Amino acid sequence: VETIVTTLAADGAVNVAPMGVEWGDETIVLKPFLDTATYRNVTATGAAVINLTDDVRVFARAAIANPVYPTVPAAIVRGVVLADCCTWRELEVRSIDSSPPRSRIDAGVVHRGANREFVGFNRAAHAVIETAIYATRLHLLAREFVDNELARLQIIVDKTAGPREREAMAILADH
């Protein structure tokens, strides 16, 4: 499931990162690369919050930077919830496998909450999320491949997007 993971650094700074997770009712598996702030923060604090949002602009901005969004304190773990997310899960780390290049962090769901129903994404939103994933892997992928995928995904956005999806795709295309 494509999510936005919020974690806290030792100094309390919030990190906002897009991440696909293995979703379960009681356990969620995070798989951050070892050189990321998410990995450093989760291993240091033993906690994370998984936010489900219907705003793909959050995915776009978080893929290329560490955006600042309004947050509220998590109820159980040391962390924060995106104030405008649909639903969230607060996670407590159970085990960490730090084998390169990506870790595998098994975390138990210790609290969940909801602001509003998440009804899913339209085709344009899916295209934006796929583009955001490519944006996080520019150092791993051939430029020609990324350019071809961006052109293909832009067609989907042009056909099916609303204002949020158009803005998010523009942010990623500019990057």
pTM > 0.85: yes
In this prediction, residue 47 carries a pLDDT of 98
pLDDT (tens digit per residue) in 103-121: 999 999 999 999 999 999 9
The residues of the chain scoring below 70 in pLDDT are none
In this prediction, residue 112 carries a pLDDT of 98
With beta carbons less than 8 A apart as the criterion, state whether 21 and 3 touch: yes
Is residue 45 within a helix (H) or strand (E), and if so which, with residue range?
Answer: helix 37-45
In this prediction, residue 42 carries a pLDDT of 98
Q: What is the DSSP string of 83-98?
A: TT-SEEEEEEEEEEE-
Q: Which residues pair with 18 in a beta bridge?
A: 4
